């Protein structure tokens, strides 16, 4: 008999009262209302939370977004999922049909919806508009100007509400595509880039970007230089989030 391998992120988690999982803590009053979140076979603890905390499981998050997108576009949507930190977090990208942006013969981007979810409270359930490059994900995250769907772990709303929220985000994708094309036709001089970026990021990140002999360059190329060091050269999640936020504010505004 063949066995179907189930991806780690699709496996259910197990909620066990802390006093039951670790009886020696049962006498401590502060721990009596706490719950342990285990992976499916109880070999890993994801977090310890209040017994009122309602977890959005990865499979539920994926199913909700996939269902809403399939209904909106009336077709199956391509996606990929990365499981991080032993299954505690997932990052998934859903390609939006008909949203490919070709800026030059070697630079093709697909407008996508990025999903994030976690069991360790590092992320709330989040869907953001972004891009998926021809070669690899460049991690670009669009600013709040283009909208975001976020839900804390208190249970997902009805699918119809999720669809409405996603429609609001997706409807802005064509505007985003046109904006990128505009950037590709907008030259930026060395002095203009220096005025825009100096002081916004540590010098060690800006030095490879602000090379005078590489200018003028398009605003699109400058944007990608910045997203590259944000996603590939930073070592901590907090720094990446901080850089992404600054890049978004510089290019998309508040």
pLDDT in tens, the chain (254 residues): 445 677 888 999 999 998 888 887 666 777 778 999 999 999 999 999 988 888 889 998 898 888 888 888 888 888 889 898 889 999 888 888 877 777 666 677 778 888 889 999 888 888 887 765 544 444 455 544 455 677 766 555 555 676 677 777 777 778 888 888 899 899 999 999 999 999 999 998 899 999 999 999 999 889 888 888 877 788 787 787 788 778 888 888 75
127 is a domain residue: yes
**Prediction pTM value:** 0.70
Clarify whether residues 151 and 107 are in a common domain.
yes
Residues 68 and 99 in one domain: yes
31 shares a domain with 136 = no
Is 68 a member of any domain?
yes
Q: Are residues 125 and 231 in the same domain?
A: no
Q: Within this chain, do residues 62 and 169 fall inside the same structural domain, yes or no?
A: yes
Residue-number span of the structural domain to which 16 is assigned: 8-50
- 124: region left, alpha or beta (phi > 0 left; psi from -120 to 50 alpha): beta
Pair (135, 103) in one structural domain? yes
State the total domains in the chain. Answer: 3
Asked whether residue 180 is assigned to any structural domain, the reply reads no
């Amino acid at each position: 008999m063949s066995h179907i391998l189930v991806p780690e992120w699709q496996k259910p988690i197990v909620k066990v009262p802390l006093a039951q999982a670790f009886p020696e803590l049962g006498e401590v009053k502060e721990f009596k209302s706490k719950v342990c979140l285990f992976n499916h076979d109880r070999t890993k603890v994801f977090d310890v939370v209040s017994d009122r905390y309602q977890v959005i499981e990865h499979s539920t998050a994926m199913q909700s977004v996939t269902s809403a997108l399939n209904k909106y576009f009336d077709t199956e949507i391509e996606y990929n999922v990365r499981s991080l930190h032993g299954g505690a977090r997932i990052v998934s990208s859903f390609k939006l049909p008909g949203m490919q942006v070709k800026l030059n013969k070697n630079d093709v981007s697909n407008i996508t919806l990025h999903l994030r979810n976690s069991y360790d409270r590092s992320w709330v359930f989040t869907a953001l508009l972004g891009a998926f490059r021809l070669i690899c994900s460049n991690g670009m995250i669009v600013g709040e100007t283009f909208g975001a769907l976020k839900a804390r772990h208190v249970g997902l709303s009805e699918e119809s509400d999720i669809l409405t929220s996603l429609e609001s985000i997706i409807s802005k994708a064509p505007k985003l595509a046109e904006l990128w094309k505009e950037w590709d036709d907008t030259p930026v001089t060395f002095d203009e880039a220096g005025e825009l970026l100096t002081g916004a990021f540590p010098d060690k990140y800006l030095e490879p970007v602000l090379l005078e002999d590489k200018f003028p360059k398009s605003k699109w190329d400058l944007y990608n230089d910045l997203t590259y060091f944000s996603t590939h050269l930073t070592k901590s999640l907090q720094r990446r989030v901080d850089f992404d936020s600054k890049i978004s504010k510089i290019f998309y505004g508040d």
